[in-house]
Amino acid sequence: MSYRDCRLWELGPTEHILKDLAVAAKTTFNRNDSAIVIVVTHQACQWFIHAKDPSGCIFDVGPRGKQYRPLGSRGTPYAAYDQGSPADYLENQAGYRAFDSAQMYRNEKEVGSTILQYLSSNSNTSQLEREDIHFTSKLESNSSYDSARKSIKQSVQECGLGYIDLFLLHSPYGGKAARLASWKAVEDAIADGEVKTGGVSNFGIKHLQELFASEPRILPAVNQIEVHPFNTRTEITSFCQQHDIVVEAYAPLVRALRMEHPVISSLSKRYSCTPAQLLVRWSLQHGYVPLPKSATKDRIIKNGEVSGFVIDAKDMEELGGLDEYLLTDWDPVDAD
């Protein structure tokens, strides 16, 4: 059994489905006041599938950082675009627990302080604690070891959360020496307890191979890249999954550029879902962690309600055939 196998499992809405899953995986089934937990033991690793949220979460306590990876992670709105408040994502009706930030977004402090305010407020009826939240940030630019190490410390201080769950190199820009030096800074931040898990973003296959060849102490757990049916990046995503690197898909809703595409419209009607839900579901069925964003509270909630349908194989293939290498943002995957 691999992490890749586990994260493709869907958590059903009823307890008996969870029990069936536990039996099928030869696991133990536990229930406490706050959550239903299935514990899968595999060699030196333990896989925790956490059913507290409607979308479910997977907790990885394996050798790559001992930190959970959310199955249904949602992106924090970019502050520059005035896309709502992180508090809207945290409320019980929305059920979001994972937030994507970055030094470049200039919102680490805003997101961190909003999370802390929510956790200590009366609105936190689920009695969430810091450990229930997954906060991601990213290094703005690769440079020397000392500069990267200092920058990571500043991010930890800026967010105010005590530590960062997942810290990524935001891009491969800067050249080989800067990439490897910056990654060493991430490794040391993990060793010092400032970061739980390390990863990369916008890395192409050659950048990942370069990192592997350097024989790092810690391998990247995540590669966050733009992925959606109109830019499937099959070679990169396949490489990542073959090497047990989680693909986090940013811009999974194509920044609303293809919501009225005939295929998207037709399949949304077939599955009685919104175009956004269809796109999120496509990502999940590929085993990716989608990071959708919205400025509207109603859409924030709906974007997470994707457990009620499954796209069949034929329709998944049709969606994959829409690939036109559409870019909605930068594209550093071929950078030197």
Catalytic site residue from 68, 96, 105, 271:
105
**CA dihedral of residues 94, 169, 8, 135 (deg, nearest 10):** -30
Catalytic site residue from 3, 68, 89, 170:
170
Neighbouring CB atoms inside 10 A of 16's CB total 8
How far is the CA of 182 from the CAs of 177, 242, 245, 249, in angstroms?
Answer: 8, 24, 19, 23
Is 68 among the catalytic positions?
A: no
Three-state SS for 118-139 is HHCCCCCCCCCCHHHCEEEEEE
Neighbouring CB atoms inside 10 A of 169's CB total 30
How far is the CA of 328 from the CAs of 48, 90, 106, in angstroms?
Answer: 34, 27, 20
Angle at 131 (CA atoms; ends 241, 137), nearest 5 degrees:
55
Is 105 among the catalytic positions?
A: yes
Nearest residue to 171 via CA among 29, 336, 20: 336
Residues marked active site are found at 105, 170
